[in-house]
Structure 1
C-alpha cells in the first residue's frame, strides 16, 4: 500500500446506505463503519476522509457519481461495497454489474488505493423472507459475491465475508429494519477492517466494539424511522419486484 508520507492517509468510501452510515445514528445525522474506521485511523495518522456513499446507490450510481471524485481524492485506501440494491431491482443485469464493478475496482487500484471490499450474507434469511423469495434473492447475491471474488483475485486488498461471520445472524447486529447494521453492527465491521489494516502494516488501534457516541435505540425513534423511511422503501421495492415475485410464486 502506497501512502503519502509515513503518517498521512487518504481514505475514500464508495457505496450505498451501509457505508453512508444508516443504522448508526449520531447527533446531526449518521456515522457508520467507514467513519468509525477513519476516526480510529485518525488517532495515529493525519487522515483525509472522503465518504461518497449515498443511500440507495447501485453499482451504476457508484460508477457514474462517486468514482471520479474518489479517484481525484488520490486515496491510499478505498472501500467499494455496493451491489445489494442491484439485486432488489427489476433492472437486474449480472453482466453489466460485473463490468461496472470491475471498472470501479480497476480505477481505484490504478489510483494507488488498497481496496476494501466485502462478500455479502443471505439478506433474505435475515429479513425472514419465505423460501420462494429468499432463494432467488440469495442466488443474485451469490452473483455479486462471485464478482467480488474476481475483484479480490485481480486487484487484491482486504475484505470480510459477512456470510461467515456468526455475529451477522444475531439480532444485535441489525437495526430495526434488519437491512442496515446497528451501531454494534457498524462497529463490528469497522473493527474487522481495522484488524485487517493492521496486518497490512498500519499502526493504530481498531475501533472499539463497545457502543459509544451514538444515539441509544428507542422504540419511538425506531417507529418514526420505519414510518418515514422504512415503509416507503418497502413500497418502492414491492412495486419494482412485485411482478418478479408473483412469477416465482407461480413457478413453485
Structure 2
C-alpha cells in the first residue's frame, strides 16, 4: 500500500535462465541412426548427425553406437564406454529394433533406459532422448502391419515419456519435428535419415541442449554439401544389393513375427500400458 492508498501489484517473477555451460565432450549412443547410416561420406563410411552436432557445440565426439543395437545392448555395452569419457552431453537413439522382435518387453526396456539415463546424469551428463515418429508414414507397409507397428511405437514412446518424467532428461519429439515426414528427410531405404535428415537432427539436438543452458558456438547448416547424393539408380541398387539380402537374412525372425503381430494386433495392450507381450521368449 502506498501513501495514496493505492496498492501496487508485484510484477510476476520469472524463472532464472539455466546456467550456461560448455559441452567439451559429446557421447552418441544407440543404433544405426546414431551410427550415421543414411548419410554416406564420399570416401566411404557414414557421417550422420554426431559430427555435425559436435562441431556446432565445439565438442569432441565419442560415438559408441552400434548398428542393430537394442536398449539392452546400449545398457550393457555402450553405456560403460560412454561413462569412461564422462561426457558433458549425450544423445541416445534406440528402441526401434526392440519393436520388431518377438521378445518386446516394455518393462525391461524402461529399466534399461532408466539405468542408462540415471548413470549418465550421475556423472554430470546432460542427456537427450528421442520420442519416435510414425514409421508407417515414411515406409509403406500393409495396413494391418502398420497398425501393429504403430501400437509398438506408441508403447515404446510411453516408455520414453515415463523415463523423461522420472529423470528430467531432455527429449526430441520426432513426430513434431518440422519436415519429419518429407521424403527428402529420408535416405534411399526410408528407414534412416538422409544427409538432410541427419542435419535436421543435429540442429534439433543442439536446440534441446541450448535450452538446457549449453553454449552453441556455431550453427548447424541445413545445406547438403558433404554427403553422397543418391539418385533413382541408387534406389534400385539398394533394393538388389541391400534390401533383398537383408529381407532374406532377417526373414527367419522378422517375417514370421510380422505375421504374428498382425494376427495378435487386436490383443495388444492400450497405448501407455507397459506390460510385456504375451509371446514366448526365444
Q: Report the secondary structure of 1:168's partner residue.
A: coil
Alignment partner of 1:169: what SS? coil
Q: Show the counterpart of 1:102.
A: 114
How far residue 155 of structure 1 moved from its aligned partner, in angstroms, is 2.2
Question: Which contiguous aligned blocks of 4+ residues in structure 1 show a shift greater than 4 angstroms?
Answer: 248-252
Residue of structure 2 aligned with 1:203, choices 216, 220, 230: 216
Aligned residues: 246
SS of 1:57's partner is coil
For residue 181 of structure 1, the aligned residue among 187, 190, 193 is: 193
Deviations 1:143-165 (A, max 9, x none): 11111112221222322111112
Check whether the contact 2:55–2:218 (CA below 8 A) recurs between aligned residues. Answer: no
Q: Secondary structure at the match of 1:150?
A: helix
Distance 2:130 2:54 in 1: 17
More relative contact order in 1 or in 2 (CA 8 Å, sep 6+)?
2
Mapped partners of 2:248, 2:73: distance in 1: 21
- Structure 1 match to 2:49: 33
CA drift of 1:220 comes to 4.0
Paired with 1:167 and 1:33, the residues of 2 have a C-alpha distance of: 16
Structure whose alpha-carbon radius of gyration is higher: 2
Aligned-partner Cα distance in 2 for 1:7–1:105 = 20
CA contact (8 A) 1:160 1:193 kept: yes
Is the 1:89–1:237 contact (alpha carbons within 8 Å) kept by the matching residues of 2? no
Distance of aligned partners of 1:106 and 1:7 in 2 relative to their CA distance in 1, 3 Å threshold: closer
Q: 1:249 to 1:195 in 2, by over 3 A?
A: closer
Point out the more displaced range, 164-173 or 80-89: 164-173
1:2–1:76 CA contact under 8 A, matched in 2: no
Q: In structure 1, the residue corresponding to 2:83 is in which secondary structure?
A: helix
Pairing 1:48–2:60 present: yes
TM-score norm. by structure 1 comes to 0.89
Task: State the distance in 2 between where 1:30 and 1:72 align.
Answer: 24
Residue number in structure 1 paired with 2:27 = 12
The 1:18–1:186 alpha-carbon spacing in structure 2 relative to 1, beyond 3 Å, is same
How many Å separate the matches in 1 of 2:164 and 2:263?
Answer: 38
Q: Which has the higher helix share?
A: 1
The structure that is strand-richer by fraction is 1
How far, CA to CA, are the matches of 2:152 and 2:29 in structure 1?
Answer: 21
Matched, 1:112 2:124: yes
* Pairwise CA RMSD: 2.2
Q: How far has the Cα of 1:86 moved from its partner?
A: 0.6
Q: What displacement does 1:250 show? A: 4.8
